[in-house]
Amino acid sequence: MLEELEELSSYGADAEGGVTRLLYTDPWLQAQRVVISKMQQLGLEANFDAVGNVFGTLPGSQPETKPILTGSHIDTVKNGGKYDGAFGVVASMMALGYLKAAYGTPKRTLEAVSFCEEEGSRFPLAYWGSGHVTGTRSLLLATEIADQDGVTLLEAMRQAGFDATANGQPYPAKREFIGGYIEIHIEQGSILTYKKKQIGIVTAIVGQIRLTVQVSGSSNHAGTTPMRMRKDALAGAAEMVAITEQMALEAGEPLVATVGRLEVKRGTSNVVPGEVEFTLDIRHTDEPEMRTFCVRLLTKLEEIALRRGLTIETVQNLHASPVAMQEGLSNAIEAACEAAGIQNMRLPSGAGHDAQLFGPLCPSAMIFVPSVGGISHSPEEFTEAADLIAGFHTLVHVLHQYGYGGKADERL
């Protein structure tokens, strides 16, 4: 498995030592073709779907039982790492290959999937792959959205050989008959390392509210304007950043609130700033708590602005609800860890994943393996081999149960 991961990372290997596989580019196409050929070598029925997702099927003996999908995404961010997405793709197909070799035909059909796109790195949209499979994305967007070079998503699809009918109808990529979805992925955080666990079982994928806040005051001469006569937009914004951090700390985990971008408009060392813009990113596994925090925070920001004679304007750019993972699948993952003596814990996912599109449609679960230093989206992204293997072992165990074992006859 480690060798396959290494080989996959050669497709899209970039000059900076990372991996860049953007949707529908040549390295991307090569990687998906390699995935198909590996799946076939492992004895799976493998092919592209209409938009470029790759499915590798291990057909079961009970076709009336809904299949379980397992996989992740093949695309990367620009100059990303070897593990994000790719580990889930490789682990999934090899798990099915191993199960077929060891146990033959399963009762329930198992399918490994390599989604064409999740990161949103080339086009300004994400989940293009799992979005099609779950019916939450359609080709209607493909003519409207273009990459940095002005190539539309539809043109890019066609260039990669995915020639859509493009008559405005949803593309026939949606899958109706799915029993469950299990995804193994790197944590992209430091909690597992900090808690000394090899496996994380995801309780929920956090919801997210993204806002842009514009603070306006008066731009003034830094030498001639006494402190008490200022309407300093940056001093106000600094107080807002501080209260955001303080309220997030008080609210406690799993809430996080981040000001990631802050810009002083026309900022010069000798001018009192008149205008500042910053972003707010608020995440929580619980929708009402996320909303309540957001309202309380914005009220505080308004108070700060009012007290300082500043004005603020807020624009909401995103509101995604949290998605819970299924208890049954999660318990099975935990049992598999316990049986093998693998240290594990439950934790929320602060990042988005393909699993969040499946969560509302079918039982879904995620297995996390530790990220050294919490680093991801970087050539330095790394997970210890022992942890990758523990994750793989857990995935195989759970798929065996649902494909061949006691849970193979469970209605999902």
Which residues of the chain form contacts with its own copies (CB under 8 A)?
187-191, 194, 206, 208, 210, 220-229, 232, 234-235, 237-239, 241-242, 245, 248-249, 253-264, 267-273, 279-281, 283, 317, 349-352, 374, 376-377
Say whether 397 counts as a known binding-site residue.
Answer: no
Q: Which is nearer to its own copies, 6 or 16 (CB)?
A: 16
Compute the least distance from the CB of residue 269 to its own copies, in Å: 4
8 A C-beta contact, residue 59 and residue 111: no
Both structure tokens of 274: 């008149």
Say whether 270 counts as a known binding-site residue.
Answer: yes
8 A C-beta contact, residue 124 and residue 45: no
Q: Which is nearer to its own copies, 164 or 271 (CB)?
A: 271
8 A C-beta contact, residue 95 and residue 112: yes
Query: How many Cβ atoms sit within 10 Å of the Cβ of residue 87?
Result: 24
Per DSSP (E only), the strands in 222-310 are 256-258, 262-264, 271-272, 275-284
Say whether 119 counts as a known binding-site residue.
Answer: yes
Q: Which is nearer to its own copies, 3 or 250 (CB)?
A: 250
CA 362, 339, 73, 70 dihedral sign is: negative
Compute the least distance from the CB of residue 271 to its own copies, in Å: 5
Q: Which is nearer to its own copies, 30 or 378 (CB)?
A: 378
Strands 180-186 and 364-369: parallel
Q: How many residues does the chain have?
A: 412
d(CA 264, CA 112): 48
Compute the least distance from the CB of residue 89 to its own copies, in Å: 20
Say whether 303 counts as a known binding-site residue.
Answer: no
Say whether 73 counts as a known binding-site residue.
Answer: yes
d(CA 62, CA 230): 74
Q: Which is nearer to its own copies, 133 or 235 (CB)?
A: 235
Compute the least distance from the CB of residue 409 to its own copies, in Å: 37
Compute the least distance from the CB of residue 52 to its own copies, in Å: 25
User: Using CB atoms within 10 A of its CB, is residue 174 exposed (0-12), middle (13-18) or buried (19+)?
Assistant: middle
Strands 256-258 and 262-264: unpaired
Q: Which is nearer to its own copies, 1 or 276 (CB)?
A: 276
Q: Which is nearer to its own copies, 377 or 400 (CB)?
A: 377
Q: Which residue's entry shows tokens 């329930």?
A: 108
- To 10 degrees, what angle do helices 233-251 and 287-308 make? 150
The phi-psi region of residue 372 (left if phi > 0; otherwise alpha if psi is between -120 and 50; otherwise beta) is beta
Compute the least distance from the CB of residue 294 to its own copies, in Å: 15
Compute the least distance from the CB of residue 216 to its own copies, in Å: 16
Strands 54-58 and 311-320: unpaired
Point out the annotated binding site for allantoate: 210, 270, 283
Pick out the residues of the known binding site for Zn(2+). 73, 84, 119, 185, 377
Binding residues: 73, 84, 119, 185, 210, 270, 283, 377
